[in-house]
Structure 1
């Protein structure tokens, strides 16, 4: 049974984002703190330097496969709701509502809290304010960045552009420092374990590449979206793969594979070797900036789905009000910020904020990501006459590969995560009785 009285409403937003703006948002979303943490884990499971670099290339190729699928969906059906809009057209309002609920209560807000904890941890190292420094900085980052995006889309996008520029320039400095270094100065290496896990290494790499799909939520605001969406996605993936390969080459040159595998903070160890404690301080600052940029991009895109939820479901109508003066979903931003602050509080209470948020978000995220790939097949069948300025090449092989990757990561996120995963699934399940109550209200 479906809510027959609810139909997706058209989105009349201003197209203010260029390819450069969209690319900056996507790069800012993806290139977060993960690239400073996961290379050591990949090296420990790769077995050789060549294999480690190959895994990063393969991760980029898999991300490209997903980007090709999203380029077709976003250019054919541009809407601020992104995947929510595809679910509405492919599966109907029930599943679309559950996705929007999950994104508001689990996926996006959990990601915001996760990134805020990373920023808080490194900001506290640079400027400690006492026992609760990390918690304070995490809360502060959400409040300030939500406020900036609330004031207007121009403030939000220029904040993102500047943070992404600072991040990329900082990464380039790390790359240059690492490539100029020699492994002879590195700590005495011990060979990594020969029994590495390729599958586990791929899991770390694909998690580090995650976030490019957020471009779908910008589709209603990108100028000439039919031709520019695919450009933004392909440029973004190209830039991200280049950055990831270069920085891994820098790590390998400066520390060697064994040095990477044995490091608990690979970027800080590299910069400490090259430039002493000043270099380690610099990398802490860089990681804080990276996390801040990713937080801002997540806030920017996340509120768009909440807006689409309020636009289509009367019970959440408060979220569906667009501030035309600032050109932002003002109420959706405020509600998103409040939920993210509550999750930061939850993470602070567990004393394992980052790990708790990873567990909380992963299974729900990959479940709906898989459904996004399946939606491509459904919409090809249900709406064959819809204009598709960009079509996935080698259909159906490419989207089938994308769905297979999503299925593998869904399995991994359930197997390798802890109690937080059950909490995230439980919060998703709360959406079912909410949906039932709304459905009951609209029935005669």
Structure 2
């Protein structure tokens, strides 16, 4: 019985109809989900940081174009993994097949306690900050908004997949339309001829790419909907390519609008570049509009992150008896209810902790970055391992220029892992410690199963 439980996901890519996720997501649904995750808070905060490291307008645009190219390289690797191994566990499933249950468990533990829940809390804090600009709810306004957003969006996803995906589609559409309006307004502005900034050094280029790739992060979440997307062999690849193309175009246009409306120097010195652009053109109403836009953007990203995050928890519950309660899929609403509830509880705990630091966004970036890039690196290596370990597996999509493409992806991940350790603070140490705490949990689970 224990052996059957241990291999329930390893030996099956589709479980029984009563317990399995169903292919209910169309190609537009998947694109909206990925775009909703990626275009969150980053594009409203990091452009100023990138401009501060660049020496010219052209350099700024090249950084953002390069970010799209790097994301495309990673997406090609993920497309092969997701089409060859379509599973609700996503990276968890790839790591289990490549490296075994121990590494997969640590990834699922890290995603449950650090990566995904930290991202949810991070986005919820940004939503709270901008919602408070519209209507303040006292001294703890940001934290209150953050907690309400997590609870409400989790409830929507528990009600059912249809409600969750339509919420995401509407939020993503509103966000993209709002961003395009900012682009149009910025491009119609009289060009700002502010003084130039100093030329970027090689070290500044590296730091700029850290900020750029932070803003592009999230496209990999497509791996977690690979078992729920219709016509998966075609639509997984198409959803990734379309999403990254849309995101890259939007990022280039929004930065072009910032540069034209503010100028490179003013953009580099801005603490809220989008708000400064709208305030300079529309005054207070413009600042209010951008606050609403950012609140919608982060709300959409939070919803998408909640949606995909619970899928790994479900896969963890399927394989490890210690978390077996999360491995139950509610057939009628087609959601992993218990996995969603635990995820919300941990995210709310992080919001509670972030309330005392009053640096919720920065703390969550430090907390999640090194752990995220470590497992991202392992996912790239898993492609190389599985090509050699399981050559008989049908691969509807094969990454072009193998093995150079996955090796390039691994090199980028290794660099970002190094950078995230160099440029982060105590929060990074806390995140690593929390992941290490999963080792005794794994040993205890193995002991329990051994006795059983």
Q: How much has 1:193 moved relative to structure 2?
A: 3.1
Among 217, 220, 242, the alignment partner of 2:224 is 217
Which residue pairs with 1:7 in the alignment? 7
**Quick one: distance in 2 between partners of 1:224 and 1:348?**
44
Aligned CA distance change for structure 1 residues 181 and 98 (closer, same or farther; 3 Å): same
Which residue pairs with 2:197 in the alignment? 192
Bigger mean CA offset, 253-262 vs 301-310: 253-262
Residue by residue, what CA displacement relative to the aligned partner does 1:385-417 show, whole Å, maximum 9, x if unpaired? 101100000001110010000000000111110
Among 434, 445, 449, the alignment partner of 1:442 is 449
Q: How much has 1:191 moved relative to structure 2?
A: 2.9
**Quick one: distance in 1 between partners of 2:309 and 2:96?**
17
**Residues 59 and 202 in structure 1, CA contact (< 8 A), matched pair in contact too:** yes
Which residue pairs with 2:128 in the alignment? 120
**Residues 55 and 205 in structure 1, CA contact (< 8 A), matched pair in contact too:** yes
3-state SS of paired residue (1:377): helix
3-state SS of paired residue (2:351): helix
Which residue pairs with 1:293 in the alignment? 300
Q: How much has 1:42 moved relative to structure 2?
A: 0.7
Written as runs of structure 1 = structure 2, the 5 A alignment for 1:247-286 is 247-286=254-293
Written as runs of structure 1 = structure 2, the 5 A alignment for 1:414-433 is 414-433=421-440
Which residue pairs with 2:54 in the alignment? 46
**Quick one: distance in 2 between partners of 1:79 and 1:409?**
27
Aligned residues: 439
Aligned-residue CA RMSD (Å): 1.2
1:71 and 2:79 are equivalent in the alignment: yes
**Quick one: distance in 1 between partners of 2:358 and 2:266?**
29
TM-score by length of 1: 0.97
1:133 and 2:138 are equivalent in the alignment: no
TM-score by length of 2: 0.95
Bigger mean CA offset, 291-300 vs 263-272: 263-272
Among 177, 182, 187, the alignment partner of 1:174 is 182
**Quick one: distance in 2 between partners of 1:300 and 1:403?**
27
Q: How much has 1:262 moved relative to structure 2?
A: 1.5
3-state SS of paired residue (1:68): helix
Among 328, 346, 358, the alignment partner of 2:365 is 358
3-state SS of paired residue (2:6): coil
**Residues 8 and 88 in structure 1, CA contact (< 8 A), matched pair in contact too:** no
Q: How much has 1:63 moved relative to structure 2?
A: 0.2
Residue by residue, what CA displacement relative to the aligned partner does 1:347-378 show, whole Å, maximum 9, x if unpaired? 11111111111111111000000000000001
1:108 and 2:116 are equivalent in the alignment: yes
Name structure 1 gaps, 5 residues minimum.
Answer: none
1:339 and 2:351 are equivalent in the alignment: no
Q: How much has 1:5 moved relative to structure 2?
A: 7.3
Bigger mean CA offset, 303-312 vs 261-270: 261-270
